[in-house]
Amino acid sequence: MKSLVNKMTIALKTKSVNVREKVISFIENTSTPVDRMSFNLPWPDRTCTERHVSSSDRVGKPYRGVKPVFSIGDEEEYDTDEIDSSSMSDDDRKEVVNIQTWINKPDIKHHFPCKEVKENGHMFPSHLLVTATHMYCLREILSRKGLAYIQSRQALNSVVKITSKKKHPELITFKYGNSSASGIEILAIERYLIPNAGDATKAIKQQIMKVLDALES
């Protein structure tokens, strides 16, 4: 029987319905729990609102006494009722940008070529760009070379969990949410296939910690 890694390799090379079903099954498959690295730091209580995309957006101040758990570890489960934020978007309403122009912006600290993975098994060539305070997903427009939709814009201080499949560590899941005294509310989930995912998640985690440290001070 083919390994999960082989299944994912096939999914990247084929667009048939059967392969998409395999990808869906792969995403939904659970893996063995592992110890998580947790950081209990002050966290801002926010609401999810749409605003015009700007790479210079700044984060707000946290409320006192609110402590979240930001964790990194193996993915234990997949909740089908959780939100896939990018699936709610309408391509006609997304901002179109020049990929290279954005990569060259002075406030871009990290750039990771990747594939955005949807719940239905579809994958889209994309780019994750990290600034001091936000992470953006630019989805390539195949019919317009060099251009991309701004598929997602997420504040780094809204990341509550980063997980990967134990048997396929390049599949990375980001969960975003609000934290309050009553607990953590997951507002969005995004999944990406990222080459050299270990280096990518390390860089993103370090930037998240800088944001949280700044909010705490």
Q: Is residue 129 part of a domain?
A: yes
Question: Domain span at residue 175?
Answer: 96-216
- Chain segment 167-193, per-residue pLDDT in tens: 889 999 999 998 777 888 899 999 999
Q: What is the pLDDT of residue 81?
A: 39
Q: Is residue 152 part of a domain?
A: yes
C-alpha distance from residue 171 to each of 24, 122, 165, 175, 216 (Å): 12, 14, 6, 13, 31
Both tokens assigned to 22: 């395999």
Pairing of strands 183-193, 168-180: antiparallel
Q: Is 140 helix (H, G, I), strand (E, B) or coil?
A: strand
Q: Is residue 137 part of a domain?
A: yes
Q: Is residue 157 part of a domain?
A: yes
Sheet holding 134-140, edge to edge: 37-39, 70-74, 159-165, 168-180, 183-193, 110-117, 123-130, 134-140, 147-155, 96-98
Q: Is residue 52 part of a domain?
A: no
Q: Is the pLDDT of residue 209 over 60?
A: yes
- Chain segment 3-45, per-residue pLDDT in tens: 554 555 555 555 444 545 554 555 555 343 333 333 333 333 4
Q: Is residue 133 part of a domain?
A: yes
Q: What is the pLDDT of residue 77?
A: 43
Q: What is the pLDDT of residue 195?
A: 95
- Chain segment 141-153, per-residue pLDDT in tens: 999 999 999 999 9
- Give the angle subtended at the CA of 210 by the CAs of 99 and 115, to the nearest 5°: 35
Distance CA 65, CA 77 (A): 29
pTM: 0.64
Q: What is the pLDDT of residue 21?
A: 57
Q: Is the pLDDT of residue 114 over 70?
A: yes
Q: What is the pLDDT of residue 208?
A: 94
Per the DSSP assignment, residues forming a β-bridge with 134 are 155
The CATH number linked to 103 is: 2.30.29.30
- Chain segment 35-94, per-residue pLDDT in tens: 333 333 333 343 333 333 344 444 333 333 444 445 555 554 444 334 454 444 455 578
Q: Is residue 150 part of a domain?
A: yes
Q: What is the pLDDT of residue 180?
A: 75
Q: Is 85 helix (H, G, I), strand (E, B) or coil?
A: helix
Number of domains in the chain: 1
For residue 38, the one-letter residue type is S
pLDDT band at residue 130 using 50, 70 and 90 as cut-offs: very high
Q: What is the pLDDT of residue 139?
A: 98
Q: Is residue 2 part of a domain?
A: no
